[in-house]
Amino acid sequence: MAQRPTMHDVAAAAGVSQAVVSLVLSGSSAGRASETTAQRVRDAAAKLGYRTNLQAKSLKTGVTEIIGLVGDEVATSPFSGMMIKGAQDRAWQDQHTLMTVDTGGDDDLERAAIETMLSHRVRGIIYTAMYHREVTVPAAALDTHVVCLNARDLDGRAPSVIPDEVTGGYEATRSLLDAGHTRIAMVNIHDTLPAARGRREGYERALLEVGIEVDPELVYQGEGIQRSGFEAVRHLMALPAPPTAIFCGNDRSALGAYQALAELSLHVPGDVSVVGFDDQDLLRDFFHPALTTVHLPFAEMGDKAAALALDPSAPADVHLVHCPVIHRKSVAPPKGR
């Protein structure tokens, strides 16, 4: 096997000292070497196929150029791929790589994953949840800089990056109010979830802001699945004064709502307007007409979490990421207006 090129080989090829090579390849050459010299070093390293010895570097600096990401079912969640991509892109932008472990909710695997990452002297660990919830960060992870992603640290010991559910729910409801609706129902998801509580708070805030009292008859507590969306809309449309618009707590509920309305020979948005939440790409093609929904900004959240993981001085604040309304074809003025 051919011997791997060394820093000495790069220095000889570029006609500079090893100290200059070290400065250039570590990104610390500004003001110490000309750009011409720095480029000559980079060209020599590329031609020789030189790679930095991360193990030796970590012994010197105490960290490696790696960020760890540990999560429950992050490999199988329909959303987590975008979180990972956002974190990976930011890590790569800052010349780091992302080490990802999906624990599948297994506590033993989670402990082993964290210990492995600590043994690699990672710059930080992103502790990720499949869906937005409150978590207790494992004590071992606190041995390095840890950031919660799509989760809020209950103990307030780590920065947390979460979607702004309240503003998302508010803007979803505002889109229906702005279209002229005043009788707006909400089909929510599990009320134990922070997402459900935040989305309902935004819904209620938007109604109260324009002087509309929240009607408990129009708030249906669903399960966040297609069937409960179907059942909710069957119930809501049987009321003496049915809603003219429905805000669904997620897109799966909205799909059930579409099906129930079709069974009742009601059209979206001609008879009833519908807004969802999630902007789940796997479901988009099932909506006819296309669903107006709130986008969960997973890539932006992953980017933010990676940036915080690389900043050991970042305080344990909660960072809310805006969830914009994606306007499509499912909202129109109330029938007759």
Does the residue 337 lie in any domain? no
**Residue 326 lies inside a defined structural domain of this protein:** no
Whether residues 290 and 186 fall in one domain: yes
Q: How far is CA 134 from CA 93, 190, 294, in A?
A: 29, 14, 22
- For residue 216, whether the previous peptide bond is cis, meaning omega lies within 30 degrees of 0, is no
* pLDDT tens, position by position, 231-265: 999 999 999 999 999 999 999 999 999 999 999 99
- Same domain, yes or no, for 82 and 141? yes
DSSP state letter for 183: S
Residue with tokens 């994953």: 113
Among 296, 311, 329, where does a domain finish? 296
Confidence class of residue 134 from pLDDT cuts 50, 70 and 90? confident
Q: How far apart are CA 124 and CA 114, in angstroms?
A: 11
171 and 265 co-located in one domain = yes
Residue-level pLDDT at 25: 75
- Exposure of 305 in the CB half-sphere (CA atoms within 13 A): 35
Asked, for residue 331, whether it belongs to a domain, the answer is no
Tallying the residues shown for the chain, one arrives at 337
> Do 303 and 222 share a structural domain?
no
What is the share, in percent, of the chain residues with pLDDT greater than 90?
56
What are the tokens at 32?
């110490």
Asked if residue 148 and residue 70 are part of one domain, the reply reads: yes
Going by pLDDT thresholds of 50, 70 and 90, the confidence category of residue 334 is: very high
Question: pLDDT tens across 139-183, in order?
Answer: 888 888 899 999 999 888 999 999 999 999 999 999 999 999 999
- What single string gives the DSSP state of each residue in 112-174? HHHHHHHHTT-SEEEEEEEEEEEE---GGGGGS-EEEEEEEETTS-S-EEEE-HHHHHHHHHH
Same domain, 83 and 148: yes
The residues facing 161 across adjacent strands are 149, 319
Output the CA angle 121-126-132, nearest 5 degrees: 165
**333: alpha, beta or left? (left if phi > 0; alpha if psi -120 to 50):** beta
Whether 219 and 302 map to the same domain: the answer is: no
CATH code, domain with 83: 3.40.50.2300
pLDDT at site 1: 43
Q: Which residues of 212-249 are buried (b: 16+ CB within 10 A; e: fewer)?
A: beeeeebbbebbbbbebbbbbbbebbeeeebbbbbbbb
Q: How many CB atoms lie within 10 A of CB 315?
A: 9
- Domain interval for residue 197: 165-296
Is a pLDDT exceeding 60 seen at residue 57? no
What pLDDT was estimated at residue 24?
79
Could you give the CA distance from residue 53 to residue 6 in angstroms, rounded to a whole number? 9
The answer to the question of residue 334 being in a domain is no
- In this structure, the answer to whether residues 171 and 217 fall within a common structural domain is yes
Q: Are 182 and 93 part of one and the same domain?
A: no
- Specify if 31 maps to a domain: yes
Largest separation between any pair of C-alpha atoms in the chain: 86
Query: Is residue 327 a part of any domain in this protein?
Result: no
Buried b vs exposed e over 10-21: b needs ≥16 C-beta within 10 Å?
A: bbebbebeeebb
- Tell me phi and psi for residue 134, to 5 degrees: -95, 135
Claim to verify: residue 231 and residue 264 sit in the same structural domain = yes
Domains of the chain: total: 3
- Give domain status of residue 332, yes or no: no
| Bridging pattern class, strands 146-153 and 160-163 | parallel
Q: What is the pLDDT of residues 180-223, one digit of tens each?
A: 999 999 999 988 889 999 999 999 999 999 999 999 999 999 99
Other residues' Cβ atoms within 10 Å of the Cβ of residue 154: 13
169 with 291, same domain? yes
The band of 51, judged by pLDDT with boundaries at 50, 70 and 90, is low
Least confident of 21-30, 50-59, 192-201: 50-59
Residue 287 counted as domain residue: yes
Mark which of 15, 32, 52 sits at the end of a domain.
Answer: 52
* Whether the predicted pLDDT of 326 surpasses 90: yes
**Same domain, yes or no, for 129 and 250?**
no
Task: Note the pLDDT of residue 62.
Answer: 45
Q: Which two tokens stand for residue 88?
A: 């990976």
